[in-house]
Copies of this chain bind each other. A is one copy, B any other.
Amino acid sequence: MAEFKQTDQTKVRRLAERGKYDHETVYSILDEGFICHVGFIATDGRPVVIPTAFGRVDDRVYIHGSAGSRMQRMLATGIDVCITVTLVDGLVLARSGFNSSINYRSVVIMGKATPVVDPEEKARALYLFSEHLLPGRWDEIRGPSEKELKQTSVLAIDLDEVSAKVRTGPPHDDEEDYALPVWAGVLPIEVKFGEAEPDPKLADGAGVPEYVRKASRKRNNEGTKN
Tell me which of B41, B95, B108 contacts A142 (CB under 8 A): B95
Tell me which of B110, B140, B148, B173 contacts A98 (CB under 8 A): B148
Provided the pairs A14-B68, A39-B48, A141-B96 are in contact, do residues A189 and B194 lie with their beta carbons within 8 angstroms? yes
Most chain B Cβ neighbours within 10 Å, of A14, A51, A53, A188? A51
Residue A195 at the B interface, CB < 8 A?
Answer: yes
User: Which B residue's beta carbon lies closest to that of A134?
Assistant: B91
Residue A187 at the B interface, CB < 8 A?
Answer: yes
Residue A204 at the B interface, CB < 8 A?
Answer: no
Tell me which of B86, B110, B130 contacts A46 (CB under 8 A): B110
Instruction: Please give, as numbers and ranges, the residues of chain B lying within 8 Å of A34 by CB-CB distance.
Output: 88, 102, 189
Number of this chain's copies in the complex? 2
Q: Is the CB of A199 within 8 A of B171?
A: yes
- Shortest A218–chain B CB gap in Å is 12
Docked complex: A28-58 residues within 8 A CB-CB of B? 34-35, 37-42, 44-51, 53
C-alpha gap A100/B148 in the complex (Å): 12
Provided the pairs A14-B69, A97-B141 are in contact, do residues A35 and B86 lie with their beta carbons within 8 angstroms? yes
List residues of A whose CB falls within 8 A of some B CB: 8-9, 13-14, 34-35, 37-42, 44-51, 53, 65-66, 68-70, 80-84, 86, 88, 90-91, 93-98, 100, 102, 104, 106, 108, 110, 126, 129-130, 133-134, 137-138, 140-145, 148, 151-152, 170-171, 173, 177-178, 180, 182-202, 206-209, 212, 215-216
Known: A34-B88, A97-B144. 8 other contacts (CB 8 A): A13-B70, A46-B80, A170-B197, A183-B198, A184-B202, A185-B199, A187-B212, A189-B191
Q: What are the 10 closest A-B residue pairs judged by CB atoms, nearest first?
A: A188-B194, A39-B49, A37-B37, A39-B39, A51-B86, A49-B84, A39-B47, A184-B199, A96-B142, A98-B148
